[in-house]
Structure 1
Amino acid sequence: MSDKAAKKASAWTAVIPWLFVLLWSSGFIGSKLGVPYAEPFTFLTLRYCIVLMILVPIALITHAPWPKGNGQMAHVAFAGLMIHALYLSGCVWSLKLGLPAGILSLIVSLQPLFTAAFAGVVLGEKVVPRQWGGLALGFLGTILVVAHKTGSGLTFLMTVPAIAALVGITVGTMWQKRHCPAFDLRTSTVVQYAASLLITAVLAVSTETMQVQWSGQFVFALLWVALVLSIGAISLLNHLIKSGTAVNVASLFYTVPAVTALMAWGIFGETLTGLSLIGMAFAALGVWLARGR
């Protein structure tokens, strides 16, 4: 590889994590735009259908290799169920029960700490003191970012799906890192979304009316989360899981509430306090420490 190509590849490697954060954060904005027009699980079901309508033909036309054997297929599907079905369903179910978005952000933001706690045992990764400090600082930053959004009236029942979402994203990323070290993004993503679609469709049919109020805003939101998040952001996440350590990948999620808050401020005019700005700085510094030099 020439020096020019090597520099270009290095620059792209440095950009990918932050591009992922930007795209992943935009998913919360897209969901907020779309959910008023459709119930949560119906919205997720439509989202996964669009993704599969795009990815299945691509996988077949390009003759992409499928996961080898039932064992590998099961590992890929299970990781997808954790990351897509359990995580997203847990988030929307908690919101449906009335859990304040700030509390939801705090609960799922425990993921980097949980990942670090189990990375040594599950993946054999060593978490150094610098990374522990960064993880703690990142969590403190998240608290400051969402402190003014926590609200009141919290019950334990509201938090159960959120805790399930935390378990889902934590287990899913570590499972994929350990059991699916190499797979084709085109076909494996199809497997993951097909498995997730079965779950969300059952939940939609059994718990919702499945009525949709079609509008320009809803179509835009649906296409945004399907194309930009479910294809773009997830492809970057799979790349990061494959090429980096679990702790490095998980630490990026600390910046998501901050970036989402900035987007919500610019798009919806939501309040952005001085404490939130300080929290954003803490979260960014924490991620820098946790990801290493």
Structure 2
Amino acid sequence: MTDTSLPSITASRHPLLWPLLASLLIIGWSSGFVGIRYANKEASVMLLLFWRTLLSGLILLPFALAIGPGISMRAVRDQALFGIMAVFLYLGGFALAIEQKVPTGLVALIADLLPLAIAVLSQPVLGERLTARQWLGTAIAVIGVLIVSFDSLGFGTAPVWAYALTVGSMLIFAVASVLHRKRKTLHMPVHQSLCIQTLMGSVLFGLCALTQGSLIPPMTRDFAVGMIWLVLIATFLAYAVYYTSLRLFPVAKVSAAIYLSPPVTMLWAWMLFSEPLTFAMFVGLVVTLVGVWMTSRT
């Protein structure tokens, strides 16, 4: 993931820029559940991820070729490497863990602890120190996530390596995020880098899906709705806003917004699938909001 960093003064001139980007990031990040809920009824997770990444890459390809600087082989190599980390290993690792019967609530909790891992890595790698207030906000946000996720937590009977896989997938994305912020030697617009990353992911997901059967998608309405949702919102919106935010703001501040993903996911489930909301979810949402505000406040 390369960097086309905008001048830092850009963010300071637009006080509403971060709230806007954070809101879009939370919407995109939490919406992946919705697309999977629709599309996973009749397709394996690997087949679903193959078509999600393939369609995303193919849609972006003409724009990547026509708009922006020429793409060198070095840039393709670097973006493909980050695609392996941030797309294939991150998404695929959690998908494989769920298939191995790791409880979904536990997988989601570990995934949502991503900002904590990024906060820990940002100081030694980037030199971005968190203040005492930001560490306190991080702790409060983690408590809020635990409150929201408590009812769905369980340990299940999956093999030990599957639990380790969930932690490893989260840490890999944390490392990729920090490297994205640090690496400024190549200059590539987000639509070009995301195109290469998703196409790289589609190749690897396609190989995995082939071991389970055919690559032909189910021709159903739910699968189509799920794909549209996953491509447009969970991929284009979430990844594009995330990468753009990393170029404008400290990585720990950007990642802190992800703490709000669990409670917003609960709202998605309530609005679209009539899943019940509990008092604990609202308490967790308020606690998480306080933590994210403390972590993100300049």
TM-score (norm 1): 0.90
Give runs of aligned pairs for residues 280-291 of structure 1, distance below 5 A: 280-291=285-296
Report deviation, 1:14: 2.5
Report deviation, 1:213: 2.8
Structure 2 contact 105–149 (Cα < 8 Å) conserved: yes
Aligned partner of 1:170 in structure 2 is 174
TM-score (norm 2): 0.89
1:160 partner amino acid: A
Distance change (3 Å), C-alpha of 1:211 and 1:69: closer
Structure 1: unaligned runs, 5 residues or longer: none
Aligned partner of 2:5 in structure 1 is none
The CA distance in 2 between the partners of 1:125 and 1:8, in whole Å, is 21
Aligned partner of 1:160 in structure 2 is 164
Structure 2 contact 106–155 (Cα < 8 Å) conserved: no
Aligned partner of 2:219 in structure 1 is 214
1:234 equivalent in alignment to 2:239 = yes
1:153 partner amino acid: G
Structure with more helix by fraction? 1
Distance change (3 Å), C-alpha of 1:148 and 1:217: same
- CA deviation profile, 1:38-93 (whole Å, cap 9, x unmatched): 1111111111111122111112233x2145562x4433332222221111111211
1:107 to 107, 110, 121: 110
1:141 to 141, 144, 152: 144
The CA distance in 1 between the partners of 2:76 and 2:166, in whole Å, is 27
Structure 2: unaligned runs, 5 residues or longer: 1-9
Alignment RMSD (CA, Å): 2.2
Equivalent pairs counted in the alignment come to 287
Aligned partner of 2:48 in structure 1 is 43
Report deviation, 1:154: 4.3
Structure 1 contact 38–211 (Cα < 8 Å) conserved: no
Report deviation, 1:271: 2.9
The CA distance in 2 between the partners of 1:152 and 1:76, in whole Å, is 36
Report deviation, 1:9: 4.4
Report deviation, 1:36: 1.2
Aligned partner of 1:88 in structure 2 is 91
2:104 partner amino acid: A
2:139 partner amino acid: A
Q: Secondary structure at the match of 1:36?
A: coil
Report deviation, 1:161: 2.6
Which stretch of structure 1 is more off in the superposition, 36-45 or 103-112?
A: 103-112
The CA distance in 1 between the partners of 2:167 and 2:133, in whole Å, is 27
Structure 1 contact 66–188 (Cα < 8 Å) conserved: no
Structure 1 contact 80–192 (Cα < 8 Å) conserved: yes
1:162 partner amino acid: T
Structure 1 contact 134–289 (Cα < 8 Å) conserved: yes
Give runs of aligned pairs for residues 267-286 of structure 1, distance below 5 A: 267-286=272-291
Structure 1 contact 265–271 (Cα < 8 Å) conserved: yes
Structure 2 contact 103–154 (Cα < 8 Å) conserved: yes
Structure 1 contact 67–188 (Cα < 8 Å) conserved: no
1:244 to 241, 245, 249: 249
The CA distance in 2 between the partners of 1:6 and 1:178, in whole Å, is 18
Report deviation, 1:211: 5.5
1:61 partner amino acid: A
Report deviation, 1:25: 0.8
Distance change (3 Å), C-alpha of 1:189 and 1:212: closer
1:124 to 98, 122, 127: 127
- CA deviation profile, 1:116-169 (whole Å, cap 9, x unmatched): 112111111111111111111111111110111113524424313312221222
